[in-house]
Amino acid sequence: MFRSRVVTLGVAALVLTACGGGGGEQPQKKTELTLYNDKGAWTKYFDEMGALSKQSIGLGMKPTGYTDSAQYQAFIKASFRTDVKPDLFTWQTGGMLEEIVRQKQVAETTDIWQQAIQAGDLSKDLQPYYTIGGKQYCVPMNVAYWGMFYNKKIFDKYGLEAPETWDDLIKVADTLKKNNVKAFYHTSVLFSFVWFEQLLAGSDPDLYDRLSTGQAKYTDPGVVQVMEKWKSLIDAGYFINPGDKTDPGDVLKNGKAAMVSFGTWFNTSMTQRDLKAGEDYDFFVIPNVNPALPKTSMIFESGPLCSLTKGADPAANKKYLQWWTTAEAQEKWATSRGDVSANPKVSIADKALGTVTKDAGSGKYRLVNRYFEATPPPVLTAALDGFGKFVTEPGSYKEVLDTIQKAADEYWSTHQ
């Protein structure tokens, strides 16, 4: 009887030990960090960065890429309560970063920012996106400016030029339509918000900002007008079918649509398809719908690279984030993907993107935070669903705005 009791207790102890955490662990000295990210398609580029960092600062990095952002976010949130913690991880600025900073999960990076700004490795313009309660958290994993990628061969074929005004853009779309070419790409999943943010930012950027902070409503006349504008463009037949599942990179390459609006990171898709900038495709800044605005509104995004306050080796994490901002790291990170960089010292190989980055840095544009980051997550979820419905049934725009506003009312009633 005694033996059976001992065996039972033993088994139970083993099970509990297996379930329990390794509390009281000492900080480790790491030579390789794990970098969790929701950019599974960029694993190759992260691997290259890992090899370079090992060579430069003796600290390797191994990426673990997710392709489903919902799964990724659930994993990161769960890791805050378990011992399976990433050393480094990518996240989103805006409400999502605020959420995890408020929980004291993210390591502060104020000194990294101060040194990087002093050394000219980071721009002061970027700082507000990473500042919460006067302190900085994370460093920029990437930055991107949004505009229009266009198929240069199609433009050349019909004698078209990159437009400088909204009217010019519509003339281009009309010419393409006459020649049975769809002008624009749009989709009913995930990136369904792109045309909403572009049209609103180009019509009334102040309203865009107020909407992001709950000071304006989706049912306000200015927002309704934007949806009506968007509907008129769809009704005019400028867009491809939103249910087309072709990858947007292939849409542009194959000429299924002559123009695709995305962030500068879309250049990576072009590079992966062996397309040459200036020959096969090019990029222009989308003109404002409202020509009276003093500056052209440009959608801007920056994705953070973060570390945890309770990471296994906080010193190594900090060392890595510091290195990530340097010109050496950023040169590699930007050139390998054919993208722009958060480090102003990095020269951009692509001429059009280089000009945009320079102009954006010199204050030529009014930078508008991307809708994805600017909108609180519960409102964003309702909006993505709503815009997905709208592009399929454009007549439903009022119902869609009502639904999004309902989610916004619920959110802002507890978050003002």
Count Cα neighbours of 59 within 13 Å in the Cβ-side half-sphere: 21
11 is a contact residue toward other proteins (CB under 8 A)? yes
The CA-CA-CA angle for residues 267, 359, 39, to 5°, reads 30
7 is a contact residue toward other proteins (CB under 8 A)? yes
Nearer to other proteins, 192 or 326 (CB): 192
User: Total number of residues binding other proteins (CB under 8 A)?
Assistant: 44
Min separation Cβ 89 and other proteins, Å:
14
Among 45, 80, 166, 284, binds other proteins (CB under 8 A): 80
What is the rounded CA–CA span in Å between residue 378 and residue 380? 5
Min separation Cβ 231 and other proteins, Å:
15
Is residue 380 within 8 Å of residue 218, measured between CB atoms?
Answer: no
Is residue 404 within 8 Å of residue 379, measured between CB atoms?
Answer: yes
* SS3 category, 351: helix
Min separation Cβ 311 and other proteins, Å:
17
Among 51, 119, 189, 236, binds other proteins (CB under 8 A): 189
Nearer to other proteins, 218 or 390 (CB): 390
What is the rounded CA–CA span in Å between residue 177 and residue 181? 5
Is residue 322 within 8 Å of residue 112, measured between CB atoms?
Answer: yes
Min separation Cβ 307 and other proteins, Å:
17
389 is a contact residue toward other proteins (CB under 8 A)? yes
Query: φ and ψ at 43, to 5 degrees?
Result: -55, -40
CA 312 to chain centre: 27
13 is a contact residue toward other proteins (CB under 8 A)? no
5 is a contact residue toward other proteins (CB under 8 A)? yes
Structure tokens that stand for 180 in this block: 């049975």
What is the rounded CA–CA span in Å between residue 317 and residue 309? 10
Among 56, 67, 103, 179, binds other proteins (CB under 8 A): 103
What is the rounded CA–CA span in Å between residue 361 and residue 341? 11
74 is a contact residue toward other proteins (CB under 8 A)? yes
Min separation Cβ 8 and other proteins, Å:
3
Residues near other proteins (CB under 8 A) are 1, 4-5, 7-8, 11-12, 15, 19, 70-71, 73-74, 77-78, 80, 99-100, 102-103, 105, 188-189, 241-246, 256, 377-378, 381-382, 385-386, 388-393, 396, 400
